[in-house]
Amino acid sequence: MSRIGKKPVELPQGVSATLSGQTVEVKGPKGTRSFTATDDVTLALDGDVVKVTPRGTSKRARSQWGMSRTMVANLVQGVSGGFKKELEINGVGYRAAIQGNILKLSLGYSHEVNFEVPDGVTVTTPKQTEIVVEGIDQQLVGQVAANIREWRAPEPYKGKGIKYKGEFIFRKEGKKK
């Protein structure tokens, strides 16, 4: 039995949900998001609580139960508080700046990297060595942060590159004489 699926999703104040068939649409102060569940689960709206229940005892129905509940909870969190990923840049001369809709990265290459920020995500640079990616879609925020990190992933010898804030980089010892 799914421990996650059993918990109902509570809607905070200022967030409303509408249910039409297998699609739940959540509106909040930050925007509107929707999710369409598979036929293996049943969605029910009771006042300010969304409940997800499986339609059978098959393995697929039980796995969709917990996943669907988590997706609805992520919609609620996204429209109420949003999601945020913070990146740090380490390295001499490595820096980031935002100009309009383009993130300009100096990462030790012979050219500047111009990363176009997609719609639905805001990217800010509080310092030259920090990048903050925010939005209401958890998957899109994580994917944009991963795409930025991909330009110069941290290397294990000096730790130079772009890493997530709080990420531990396993360090290797260099050559010995």
Are the CB atoms for 77 and 84 separated by under 8 Å? no
Q: Is the pLDDT of residue 1 over 90?
A: no
Are the CB atoms for 11 and 17 separated by under 8 Å? yes
Render pLDDT for 101-148 as a digit per residue (tens, 0 to 9). 999 999 999 999 999 999 999 999 999 999 999 999 999 999 999 999
Q: Which domain, by its residues, includes 18?
A: 3-80
User: What's the rounded Cα separation, in Å, for the pair 163 and 171?
Assistant: 14
Question: Which pTM value belongs to this model?
Answer: 0.87
Residue finishing a domain among 65, 80, 95? 80
CATH code of the domain in which 37 resides: 3.90.930.12
Residue 33, in any domain of the structure? yes
Render pLDDT for 160-169 as a digit per residue (tens, 0 to 9). 999 999 999 9
Judgement on whether residues 116 and 158 belong to the same structural domain of the protein: yes
User: What's the rounded Cα separation, in Å, for the pair 136 and 163?
Assistant: 22
DSSP letter, residue 64: H
Residue 174, in any domain of the structure? no
Count of domains forming the chain: 2
